[in-house]
Amino acid sequence: MEWYEEEVSAIEQRLQKWPPPPAGPVAFYGSSSMRMWDSLEADFKDVGALNLAFGGSTMEACAFFFERLVVPCHPRSIVCYAGDNDLGDGKMPEDVLASFRKLLSKVDAHFPAIPFTILAIKPSPARLHLTERIIATNEAFSREILGRPNGCFIDIYPAMLGVDGQPDEDLFQEDGLHVSPKGYLIWKKLLNNRSSDIFRGVLRA
């Protein structure tokens, strides 16, 4: 986990200067697909969004750094995107699910009553060779999270496909991996469609 230390430490330093909302933020957590959402905090400013994502993060890393990054913020709700890089590193869906369960166990230990949302892994053009594993992991996420009273699964996968059933390249950056501004508009819409589940109990400005 040393590879992440510099960025994780930078987030910790930023949080020391960050004035939290009176009742806590909505923590957006996960990998670079979340970190690179430059307009995220503005897109969800009325619910006190806070971007805690760090580049290259795996689901395993999200579980590992949870106490350092998420717990001190005392979030009202957590929205997570992770698992993509685990598969890219050669892990199998069952490995990602095991790490996801570790993350959920930490959520339950610290914040058992708050909403937790997991986004499906996106259909990146650069990872077409992992399509079967991505679909299997998304199905595992869905089964796991829907068994939780405060769980929510946002299936971004089909929304990022074109009419031909292939990834819509307009929704991705030139690297075929990261999300474009058009792609984030879709993410924003899908999250807002489930706002009563994701953001319930959050005081608005």
Q: Is the pLDDT of residue 205 over 50?
A: no
Q: What is the average per-residue pLDDT within 98-111?
A: 97
pLDDT at 21: 66
What gap in Å lies between CA 60 and CA 82, rounded to an integer?
A: 9
Where do the domains of the chain lie? 2-15+22-196
Q: Is the pLDDT of residue 201 over 60?
A: no
So what's the pLDDT on residue 22?
65
Q: What is the DSSP string of 146-192?
A: HTSTTEEEE--TGGGB-TTSSB-GGGB-TTSSSBPHHHHHHHHHHHH
Q: What is the second-level CATH architecture of the domain 2-15+22-196?
A: 3-Layer(aba) Sandwich (3.40)
pLDDT for 98 equals 98
Whether pLDDT at 69 is above 90: yes
pLDDT of 159 strictly over 70: yes
Out of 18-32, 81-95, 110-124, 184-198, pick the least confident. 18-32
Count the residues in the chain.
205
pLDDT at 18: 74
Mean pLDDT, range 107-124, rounded to an integer: 96
Q: Residue 75, SS3?
A: coil
> Model confidence at 203, in pLDDT bands (50, 70, 90)?
very low
Confidence of residue 3 (pLDDT cuts 50, 70, 90): confident
pTM: 0.94
Helix axes 93-110, 131-146, angle to 10 degrees: 30
